Structure 1
């Protein structure tokens, strides 16, 4: 079977040379999962005495097993703070624990919001990619399913202030995979969809969404996950590292 990372994107032959690159932020540019896991262990210890296996369960539940709760925030059903508390409550329940009362949940949230940003780091392959794009004169930016100011602070904390173009869900009142949020990224970059690549870790929101707006979508699969069946025929390019991007867009 052919390596899916080498499979061509539909209509690649008619595409223009790459003039712009847009990227997701969380788990693409920034190791949010790592930051969450470190912060969770620090601030949740008073509410649960856990083995290492228990911490793994709690952290996984807070992250990948609570994406439905985060989606409710993106849809405007709950606030950002509320989704964090709901995820924490679910995570504690998964290991047989709970906040004793609402005041404890509020105290946990305040501590988590203070501690977590300090753990935010960029992945090691980010700066080399940005250096290569700068050297080639290729415009770049970020499009994220969170609000602009929150993600701006995250990028700055991670040492990525050089990423000037940033589109959040508050920019156009839409979230990925809606084409509108990608088109706003294109507008700010000043590039066409046909000459722009979008890279992200969520095959549905990032890759299929980008393709729906006319961009070339590439799935960043850092952990070797299986491609979900519902997007298997749409996601035609994947990479394990941003270090692969220069070759894919003709810079190496």
Structure 2
């Protein structure tokens, strides 16, 4: 059951913006599978790298790179590419294969399956509201097959600033032609999605599919807490009726 902290006098929403990974689809198993298939690809096309580095070692090297250069987190594809380039150089492998490796990984990374309640919910909401997305990740809505449902899709790697920076939320609202208070943002991450959106003047729905009360420990007060996309849709529809 969804909970809400929105006052009765809240502005009627005109637009809804969504996070992507773990909001519209589960991403953990997809990334794990993509890394497995990438490592198998490396075994065929860059065997020196595959022999020298396990999936876990390649992952740890990326994490270490981010610890040293946290500013790279704005572009996850660039982080993975940099990690591969370093691994290829250390293993003495031809770096010409790196871009093919990235294409192979990204194709697998975009083989996501939306949660069952997402597509029906989007189809209902787009009849009454303008829809968009804001993501810090590297999901490709065109490759996934959902691009047509959104009027704007901002990715941190292209915009140059990511969540929770207010700028990316404000830019999405401006593109849709709505004021921040006329927009609702839906996401699964308390800091990036809820705190970020509220800091930019949007209402924020925490889509908490797995339960728990992490928001209390974090001191975050979402405008609504929902456990499914259906609950998100019902909450938004109630705002339209007030």
| Shared fold per TM-score greater than 0.5 | yes
What TM-score does the superposition give when structure 1 sets the normalisation length? 0.71
Residues in 2 aligned to 1:215 and 1:225: alpha-carbon distance in whole angstroms: 24
Does 2:72 align with 1:73? yes
- Which residue is equivalent to 2:141? 155
Residues in 2 aligned to 1:20 and 1:181: alpha-carbon distance in whole angstroms: 15
Unaligned 5+ runs, structure 1: 49-53, 93-97
- Which residue is equivalent to 2:47? none
Matches within 5 A, 1:163-182: 163-169=150-156, 173-182=160-169
Does 2:213 align with 1:218? no
- Which residue is equivalent to 2:111? 120
SS of structure 1 residue aligned to 2:22: coil
Q: Given the alignment, which residue of 84, 109, 133 partners 2:80? A: 84
Shift of 1:85: 5.3
Residues in 1 aligned to 2:208 and 2:107: alpha-carbon distance in whole angstroms: 24
**Range moving further from structure 2, 116-125 or 175-184:** 116-125
SS of structure 1 residue aligned to 2:122: helix
Residues in 1 aligned to 2:8 and 2:173: alpha-carbon distance in whole angstroms: 21
- Contact 2:151/2:176 (<8 A) preserved: no
Large movers: runs of 4+ above 4 Å: 57-71, 79-82, 85-89, 104-109
Shift of 1:234: 3.2
Shift of 1:62: 9.3
- Contact 1:177/1:205 (<8 A) preserved: yes
Once the two structures are superposed, what CA deviation does each residue of 1:69-122 show, in whole Å capped at 9, x if it has no partner? Answer: 8953145xxx65552157789xx9xxxxx9971527874773253244245224
- Which residue is equivalent to 1:25? 20
Unaligned 5+ runs, structure 2: 44-49
Residues in 1 aligned to 2:231 and 2:64: alpha-carbon distance in whole angstroms: 29
Distance change (3 Å), C-alpha of 1:64 and 1:229: farther
Residues in 2 aligned to 1:37 and 1:238: alpha-carbon distance in whole angstroms: 28
What TM-score does the superposition give when structure 2 sets the normalisation length? 0.73
